[in-house]
Amino acid sequence: MSAPAAAHGIPHAAALAAWRGRAPAPPRALALPAPELLERFHPDRRPGAMVPLRVGASAGLPCRAELAALLQSDALVEDEDIAGAPLLDADVLVIGGGGAGCVAALTAARAGARVLLATKLRLGDSNTVMAEGGIQAAMGPEDSLQRHFEDTLRAGHFAADKALVAALVSDGPGVIRWLIQEGMGFDLAEGSDRMGGNLLRRKPGGATAARLLSYRDFTGLEMMRALREAVLLAPGITLLERHPALELLTDDRGRCAGAVLHELARGRPVLARAGATVLATGGAGRLHVAGFPTSNHYGATADGLVLAYRLGAALREVDSFQYHPTGIAWPPRMAGQLVSEAARASGAALVNGLGERFVDELDTRDVVAAAILREIAEGRGVARDGQAGVFLDTPGLERAKPGILGRSLVTLTHLAHRAGLDAAAEPFLVRPTLHYQNGGIAIGPDGWSGVPGLLCAGEVTGGLHGRNRMMGNALLELVAFGRRAGAAAAADARAERPRNIGLTHLADWRRALIAQGLPLARKAPLVFPPYGNFDMAKDRGRAA
C-alpha cells in the first residue's frame, strides 16, 4: 500500500544534481509555523479522517474511521463455540509476546504468580524488534527527570496524562539498570572500557538533553533478544505461541477472567482462565490508516483495543497516529521499512529536490513528517519511478563522521544494500510511514484499565504520549509499564479466583450495536490483515 502523494516532483537525476551542487545544504527554518503546518499537512487532519464512536464507554470520542469500524463490530465467538473447549488455568494471563508482554510475564512470575503467556505469532514477533533508534532515560549529569517530563509533555502537545508521564520518567534510570542486568547491551561512549564505561547518549528529536541510549541502530532487536531469553529460561511461565486472543472472558461479577484463545495449529478454541489479565497486544499499523505503508509487524491489527473496548474499557486519543518521517519511498518493494531516526540523531540531513534543507531534522516527529509531506505536495519532492519523497543525506553524514555507517548504523547499511544503493555515495529516498498508535486504552500508573481484572501495557494503551510520541519513549514505556502491570497483576491474582466464566458481556454489547443501527455481520478482531488471506471463521470450523 502507498501513501497518497503528488504524482509530480523533481526528477531523480535532476534532484541528485541539485543535492550535489549544494552539499552540504545549510540548515533552514520552517517556512510555516508548526501549528499551521500540522493543520494543513498532517494525515490525521485530513477531512473525513475521523468519525465519532457511537457505542461503548467512549461513545462520542473521535476515532480514525478504519479503527472505528473494528471497535464497533460483533464478536467472532459465541457461547456454543467454546462449549467443551480445553481449559487452562493460571494466576496471570499475559496476551502478547512483544517487549511489554515479556516484561509483564517475567515480573509476575518472579513475584510468585503462575503465568500463561499467549502470543499471536512467535515469541518476540512484535513492533519491539523494529524499534531501531534507542530508549530514553534521564541518565546524564546535565539532564533531569523534570526535563524528560517536560520534553514528553511538550512533544505530545500537552495532551498526555501527567501521572503516566511522571511514572515513565521516574522509572527510566531503573529500567536501564534492569535491562543491563537482564543481559541487554548498550553502546558505550568513545574511550570507555566495556566493564565500567559510560553509556553513549545522543539527543533525540524534540528533547532538550542527550538521553537517547542505544545498541547500534537495532536497539529493539537487542532488547527483545535479552527478554526472549529471560522468558524461555524463567520458571513459572507457560508459553503458548500461535494462540491469538479472540475474546476476553468475564465471570459472574463482571471481572475479566481470562480469554478465548485460538490454537492456530489445530484450529480450535482454548480457554485461558486467570485471576488477572494483562493485554500487551501492540498497535494498529496493519490497518494502513490513511492508505500509508507501515513499519509495523504482521500482527499489528488493533486486536487488544477491540477486545478491551467490548468489555467496557475507555479509550483516549484514538484519533492520533504517528507517521515516522523516514520510511523508505524507493524501491517500492521496500515501502514502509524505516531508516532509523538514529541517522538524523547522528546528523543526517533531509533535503528536497532543489537540494535544500527545509526542517530541523530533530524537531518532533509529527512536525518533520508534515514538513516532508508538504515538500511532496507542493512539488519540491523527488520523483522516482512513480514514487515521491525527499532525500536523507547519508553520504553527507559519512563525510562528516567517517566510518559511522559501517560502525554505528549497521541496519541502515543493510537496508541500502537491499535497496541497491551505496549509502555512503547516494542518499535514500524517504517519506513518512505509519509507525505508532499514539492513543489506546486509558490506564492508570500501574496499568489498570478501569475494568476489574484487566491491565494493559505498551502500545495498546493511551495517555502517555498525548498526540505525538517522542522517539525512545516507546521502548522505555514497554519496560516501565510492563513491570508495573506485571507486579499489579500478580498481587491482584492472589486475591481473586474467577468463577462461572463465560461471554456474558456480549449480550449488552450486541444490544448496543443494534440500537445504533450497526451491523452484527461485521466481526472483529481482525487477527491478521486482509491481504494475509486468512479466514478466522473457516479456521475455527476445522475443529468442528
Q: Cβ of 492: how many Cβ atoms within 10 Å?
A: 20
Residue 276 CA: distances (Å) to CA of 114, 134, 230, 259, 525: 11, 31, 22, 11, 21
All three cell numbers of 239, joined, read 508459553
* Angle, CA 140 vertex, CA 136 and CA 141 arms, to 5°: 155
Using DSSP, state whether 131 is helix, strand or coil: coil
365 is catalytic: yes
CA atoms of 122 and 227, how far apart (whole Å): 13
What is 64-75 written as a DSSP string? Answer: EHHHHHHHT-B-
Residue 256, amino acid: C
CA atoms of 341 and 412, how far apart (whole Å): 10
Residue in this structure with the C-alpha cell 465467538, named with its chain if needed: 77
CA atoms of 205 and 209, how far apart (whole Å): 10
CA atoms of 135 and 294, how far apart (whole Å): 21
Residue 343, amino acid: A
The one catalytic residue in 365, 467, 469, 484 is 365
- Burial category of 241 from C-beta neighbours within 10 Å (exposed 0-12, middle 13-18, buried 19 and up): middle
Contact criterion met (CB below 8 Å) for 383 and 8: yes
Residue in this structure with the C-alpha cell 471463521, named with its chain if needed: 537
CA atoms of 395 and 151, how far apart (whole Å): 31
Instruction: State the catalytic residues.
Output: 365
